[in-house]
Amino acid sequence: MAAKGVIKGIVTVAVIGALGAGGWFAYRHFVPEQSARTEKVYVQRVANVNAAGTGDLFANCFSGVIVAQKTVSVKYDTSKTIGEILVSEGDSVKKGDKLLTYNIEAIQIEIDTAKLEVEGLQNSIQTNEAEIAQLEKEKRTATGDAQVSYTTKILSLQSDNARSEYDIKTKNVEIAKLENSLNNAFVTAPIDGTVKELKDGAPDPMSENPDVIMKITADGDYRVQGTFNEQNAMSISKGAEVILRSRVDDTTRKGEISDIDEEPISQEDPYGMMRSDPMTSSSKYAFYVKPESLEGFRLGQHLVIEMDRGDEDEKRTGVWLYDSFVMWDGKENYVWAKNDRDRIEKRIVEIGEHDEERGESEIKSGLSPEDYIAVPADYIEAGMGTTTNFSEAEIPEDASGMPADGAYPADAVPGGEEADFDAAGNLVYTDGEGDVYTFDPEGELIDGEGKLFDEENAEADEAENEAENDG
């Protein structure tokens, strides 16, 4: 797309503004004066703001840090006797591999003992039921206090039977668990990894975790830990593909979200004090990325985690800038750039392709990644000093943050309208209907008629332009 088709001028705004607020503004819009200001303008290296290959500006991004691989504690049932440990320190294991077995004979003895207890309880119930039947028979022929005595004995035996029935249910649950243990009398690896810190199997009641028999560290040297909160939780899902981006250069790696913590990250400091009010602050959660490779990165390095939209392989090259950097002076596109005297200047650039969705333009010529540019603002004028230290930048108190006189954002006005200067230095403006208007250096209309001077139509055009820009 040609530059004028891609980057839209602001001529209509300039001319309408000139008619409403004075012709001098319209003329100065296209003829900026040299600056005598002493403020310094903050400039950034083009390579640092280059939109080529950086993905979607509005994509969900998360902060991350490279950490050691996941380590899982393997626990065993300390109420059972370990029969055999099947692995050694440093062994590589796969998820589901058997790590140790329990003593099956001990489990079988527990099962047999529990079954004998159930059998004894059942025999006791049968004996009591027979005795209750006999007491009921004798009670029918008894009189007076004798009947009361029979009733008391019967109720006592019925209570004993109810207690025995409950004990039988409890024992059957215990037997089912023991039989399940007998069928699964082993502990398996929860993840792929390497066996670490293997104990001899003798529980130490004084240790912090007496039931931990060993630890397994996941395969790979490192993984990436990221954080998210309640507001962006919907963007995180296990198995989602991501792009890992260095904060110091253009290095990228691909990865996949492997784990998501369900418990929030503790907000307590090392002294046990809350760092923020849990009722007013958003909870943060950790998630982990398994990278394809972390070559070129190091432990503890901070990076950006970006959701992979699948267009990384189609990464653009060259220089691409967000449209807010590119301006239009009525004739050419330009940016505010630092020259070789460390002064800000209007640098003419050639526009190539334009990405409407992302609001980015390709700079075909006029800038290199090593150049330095500034974000347009109302106080910037050619000849001002520059600085790469933001704290040294001097922004006037009356600065509005809008583009300076003589320049507006290049995407502010519909295309098809032209502004130029004739040999005498007069501003010549052609609107979308083909009507031509000429203004002298003082901003006074010299020649031209058309609906530009129809207030009602001018307002309609302005509304139409705003709607087109919003679209």
| pLDDT band at residue 97 using 50, 70 and 90 as cut-offs | very high
Q: Is 386 left (phi over 0), alpha (psi -120 to 50) or beta?
A: beta
Q: How far is it, in rounded angstroms, from Cα 383 to Cα 38?
A: 9
What is the model's pTM?
0.36
Contact partners, residue 15, CB within 8 Å, separation at least 6 = 26, 419, 429, 431, 437, 452
Q: How far is it, in rounded angstroms, from Cα 458 to Cα 456?
A: 5
- Determine the pLDDT at residue 124: 94
Q: Is 175 helix (H, G, I), strand (E, B) or coil?
A: helix
- Determine the pLDDT at residue 157: 93
| Span 450-468, average pLDDT | 52
* Lowest-pLDDT choice from 68-72, 111-115, 201-205: 201-205
Pick the more confident residue, 122 or 230.
122
The CA-atom distances, in angstroms, between 365 and each of 413, 421, 444 are: 23, 24, 36
pLDDT in tens, 411-453: 433 333 445 666 666 667 766 667 777 776 555 677 776 555 4
pLDDT in tens, 275-323: 545 555 568 899 999 998 888 888 889 998 988 866 544 567 889 998 8
Instruction: Specify whether the CB–CB gap between 331 and 348 falls below 8 A.
Output: no
Instruction: Please tell me which of 36-50, 193-207, 300-314, 386-400 the model is most confident about, judged by mean pLDDT.
Output: 36-50
Kindly tell me the burial class for residue 417, based on how many C-beta atoms sit within 10 Å of its own C-beta (0-12, 13-18, 19 or more): buried
| pLDDT band at residue 159 using 50, 70 and 90 as cut-offs | very high
Q: Please choose, from the candidates 471, 320, 469, the residue with its C-alpha nearest in 3D space to the C-alpha of residue 10.
A: 469
Whether the pLDDT of residue 371 is over 90: the answer is yes
Q: What does the angle CA 131 – CA 133 – CA 139 come to, to the nearest 5 degrees?
A: 100
| Span 50-61, average pLDDT | 59
- Determine the pLDDT at residue 432: 63
